[in-house]
Structure formats: structure tokens, C-alpha cells
Amino acid sequence: MSSLRKFTIRLFLVLNITAGLLFLFACCNGFLHPEKWWFIAMLAFFFPLFLVLLLVFLFFWLIAHPRYTWISVICLIIGWQNIHAFFGFSLAPNHFPKKDSGSIRILTWNVRSWDEFGVKKQNGSAHRLPMLELIGKQNADILCFQEFYEPADSSKSNIRFIRRKLGFPYFFFSRDYHNHWNKYESGSVIFSKFPVIATGQIHFDNDTLHKRGSLIFTDLNINGKKIRVFTTHLQSVLFKPKDFRNVEIIRNAEDSMLEASRSLVKKLKFALGLRGFQADTVRRQLDKSPYPLIICGDFNDVPNSYAYFQIRGGLQDAFTAKCFGVGRSYIYIAPTLRIDYILPSKEFSVMQTTNLNPPYSDHHAVMTDLQLRD
């Protein structure tokens, strides 16, 4: 074997082992709290990259030196749970124009305040009415919204429109944030066509921001059976336009890359730790549910994160159960960011799941049909 070939094989072995170790560290996030292990938690965002590298090395060794394929194979076997959380392998067909009579259709969407603070057009919001019309066409039974905006002006009430025009008479609104001049309220909300028999709200601890977050739930009576529906919006990174510019600086390896990285790491570290504590709170409340449950919302974290695994626990993931691919639900930064979820308990059968991709919010809506097992 020539010296160059030996050097090349050794180099690729080192690179393969390094990629494997980083991949395995990223897989540890399910049980390492991000408040303490924030530097490991950040590796979750690079999980797709590590996965692709392992697959590239696997195919490379199959051609060049099959005896070294074990490195990638062992890592992939150990990380299978994380791989399946990240990527849906189901080829089940989805036929959402048709809804079985016994199924429950639930839609969750971070509506970004109905675009009230985005691009303005004459005579009001750019996207509010198209968004509401789109929701009305989905034939859903339960709606869960995050960053829901409700103006003080009753003539523009989104709650009244959804209740009267879209046919969802029952609702519960968290009202997490009140504008200083009392012009609007915002938070998470659950709308239902089924009667609400009880509601609850749990405010998150460790909230140091002016916008408080919370977990809310409604107990619904569905043809004599009771279920509990949760929704929440976990702590976001609160990226501003400057931060998105910093992402571009890092991508392009510009001269100010180091300074941009420090700014992003600081914000990510804060948000990761806070989401970890919020996920702990959510898990405790899920464990207290006396009924079959569904939790959905914007977790602001990827499927390989502590927040995702802590909240999911033994629940099902409606996307990975019935979809193929990565299921991107956030349109910025990276094409692999799935941060919006519907997680039903095992008492439900997942019939079909899809993402709606309208050009309105910075999030895609997630919708699924469930059936409550007898």
C-alpha cells in the first residue's frame, strides 16, 4: 500500500470517528438537561449534518475498504431512536379531502400574530383574512394556535370570527401578554367544535422576559368520551434581523464570523436552558392527565433535543407515524427545522398527517386525523 493511500485511509478514519462521536453526543440530548449541558444541546442543530456525514463515510468504506464500515454502522444503530425522531419513514397515503366520520382532525399553527406586525397593506393586515379562510377549509375539529393575536377592537376580533364564521363555539385563550396600551392580547389558544368541560393554565417558571409563556389545556367531551388537549409555545431564541444576518455571516465565513458566532451562542444558550425547564413543567402536567391526551404546539426545538424527548416521553409523534421526510415546519435558517408537533397518547390511532405550507406565517401548520381506540 502506497504512503499516500495509507495517509488517506488514516485521515478518513479520523474524520469518520470524529463525525461518529459528534453524532453520538448529539444523540445524548434526550437525557442531558440543556441548562447544564448547553454545549451538547447545541449539537442537536447539527444532527442532520452528522447523519449525512456518517452515511457518506459508510458508502465510501463500502467501496474503498469495507472493513471500516462498522464505524458508521454502530453509530447509526445506537442513534436509531434519534434518526427516527428526525426522519419519518412512513409511506402511508394521506387523503385529507376525506375525513372518516369517527376521526378527530386537529390543526396546530404558530400564526405569528396574523401578520399584524409584519408587512402592512392598506386597510389592515396583509394575511389575516387569507389565513382564516385557509383554516376554515380544512374541516378541522380542534384548532391550536400559538402567537395568537386578539385586538381590543371588537370589530376585528379573531376569536369572534373563528367562533361564528368558522364554527368553533368553544375556546380557551391563555392571554399571556397584554399590550401596555391595552390594544391587544396574545398567547396560545385552543378552539373546539366539541364541548369544553374544563380548562387549565400553568405559567412557566424561570420566565425572565416581558412576555410570559404558559401551557394550557382543555378537557373535551367527544361523544361521551373525555380527552385532554394541551398546547404551548416554548421559549424562542428571539432572533432579530441582525441575528439572521449573523447566520449568513457564519455560512459565508466572513471576517466577522467569530463575533457573529458569539452573539448567536449567547442567545441559543439562554433559550435552550429555559426551554429545558419549560419542558420539565410540561412533562409533569402530562403525567397528571386523567384522560387520553394530545399535546401540540411550537416547541421551538428540533426532534433531537431535550425538550422534544422530555415532552414526547411515551407519546406518539403524528408526523413520523404517517409521513416521509424531515417535515420542515419553520421556514428560516435551515431546511430541516421541524419545531412544531402533534403528539397524541397511545389511546389514539394516527390515521394521517400533513404539513400545510401557505406563504403567510414563518411556520407551517401541522394537521392530523386521530381516532380514539375503544
Secondary structure (3-state) at 141:
coil
Find, among 264, 269, 270, the residue nearest to 247 by Cα. Answer: 264
Question: What pLDDT sits at residue 270?
Answer: 84
Which residues of 246-322 form beta strands (DSSP E)?
293-298
Which of residues 269 and 173 earns the better pLDDT score?
173
Question: What pLDDT sits at residue 244?
Answer: 40
How far apart CA 271 and CA 103 sit, in angstroms, is: 36
Secondary structure (3-state) at 148:
strand
The one-letter amino acid code at 208 reads T
Secondary structure (3-state) at 75:
helix
Q: For the segment 208-239, what is each residue's pLDDT rounded down to a tens digit?
A: 444 568 999 999 999 999 999 999 999 887 55
Question: What pLDDT sits at residue 303?
Answer: 96
Q: How confident is the model at residue 190 (pLDDT cuts 50, 70, 90)?
A: very high
Distances (CA, A) of 115 to 110, 184, 240, 340, 359: 11, 14, 16, 18, 11
The mean pLDDT value for 183-208 works out to 88
Question: What pLDDT sits at residue 257?
Answer: 42
Q: For the segment 323-342, what is each residue's pLDDT rounded down to a tens digit?
A: 999 999 999 888 899 999 99
| CA dihedral over 355, 358, 331, 218, signed as positive or negative | negative
Question: What pLDDT sits at residue 348?
Answer: 97
Beta-bridged to residue 233, according to DSSP, are 298
Helix (H) or strand (E) holding 63: helix 47-64
Distances (CA, A) of 179 to 105, 136, 137, 182, 183: 33, 28, 31, 5, 6
Question: What pLDDT sits at residue 242?
Answer: 46
Question: DSSP letters along 159-202, please?
Answer: HHIIIIIS---EEEE---EE-TTSSEEEEEEEEESSPEEEEEEE
Which of residues 335 and 254 earns the better pLDDT score?
335
Burial 69-88 (b: 16+ CB within 10 A, else e): bebbeebbeebeebbebbbb
The mean pLDDT value for 315-319 works out to 98
- Residue 78 reports pLDDT greater than 80: yes
- The pTM (predicted TM-score) of the whole model is 0.89
The one-letter amino acid code at 118 reads G
Question: What pLDDT sits at residue 246?
Answer: 40
**In this structure, what DSSP letter does residue 323 have?**
-
Q: For the segment 22-54, what is each residue's pLDDT rounded down to a tens digit?
A: 999 999 999 999 999 999 999 999 999 999 999
